[in-house]
Amino acid sequence: MNVRRLTALLAVLLGLVALAFVLAGLPQTGTAPPDGGRSGPAPSATVSQTPTSGRAPAAGVANPSRLPEIKASDLPAEARQTLALIARGGPYPYSRDNVTFGNFERILPRKASGYYREFTVRTPGESDRGARRIVAGAAGEKYYTADHYETFKFIAEGK
C-alpha cells in the first residue's frame, strides 16, 4: 500500500471516529425500555468523554419533574464543589463519577438508558463514597440525593 492510500485511509478513519464522538455527545431522547435500561451497559462502565450534562447549563433550567426543589446555594459545600466539577467537565475524584445512572428506582423522570450520569458528593467523615450524589440529565437538569437514591431534589442552579 502506498503512502497516499494509507494517508487517505487514515483520514477516513479519523473522520469516522470524530463523527462517533459527536453523535455520542448528543442528548438521547425517548423513553426507557421496558426493562428500565437494565440490559444496557453496567452502571460501573466508565466513559472517557463529558456528556452534554457535564457542561454548565444556562441558569434557570426548568424543573422537568414533580420533585421538590433546592437552591444550589442551599446545598452543602461539598455538593456545590461537585456542581463546579461537573460544569468544568472534571477531573472527578472517584472512578465511579460520570458513569451512567440507571434510574432503577424510577424516581427521576423516565428517560432512555444513558440519559443520566451520577457524581459523588464527598461526605466528611466517611471512609468511602458515602450516600450523597448529584445525578445530571443530558438536558442540563441536576438532582441531589443525600440518602443514596431514596429521595431526590431538583437543583435550582443560579439561585
126 is catalytic: no
DSSP state of 145: E
Q: pLDDT at residue 61 above 50?
A: yes
Per-residue pLDDT of 108-137, as tens digits, reads 999 999 999 999 999 998 888 999 999 999
More reliable by pLDDT, 47 or 57? 57
Per-residue pLDDT of 81-116, as tens digits, reads 999 999 999 999 999 999 999 999 999 999 999 999
Say which residue the cell 455520542 belongs to. 24
Name residue 153's beta-bridge partners.
144
Q: What is the mean pLDDT of residues 37-52?
A: 36
Query: What are the residue ranges spanned by the domains of the chain?
Result: 31-156
Kindly report whether the global pTM for this prediction surpasses the value 0.85.
no
Domain 31-156 sits in CATH 3.40.1360.10 = no
Report yes or no: 27 and 55 within 8 Å, Cβ to Cβ: no
Report the distance separating Cα 28 and Cα 25, nearest Å: 9
- Residue in 105, 126, 148, 150 annotated catalytic: 148
Say which residue the cell 421538590 belongs to. 68
Per-residue model confidence (pLDDT) at position 69: 95
Mean pLDDT of the chain: 75
Per-residue pLDDT of 26-43, as tens digits, reads 443 333 333 333 333 333
Tell me the H-state helices in 40-114. Answer: 77-88
Report the amino acid identity of residue 99: V
- Residue in 118, 126, 141, 150 annotated catalytic: 118
Choose among 148, 98, 144, 104: nearest CA to 119: 98
Report yes or no: 149 and 121 within 8 Å, Cβ to Cβ: no
69 is catalytic: no
More reliable by pLDDT, 94 or 2? 94
More reliable by pLDDT, 132 or 1? 132
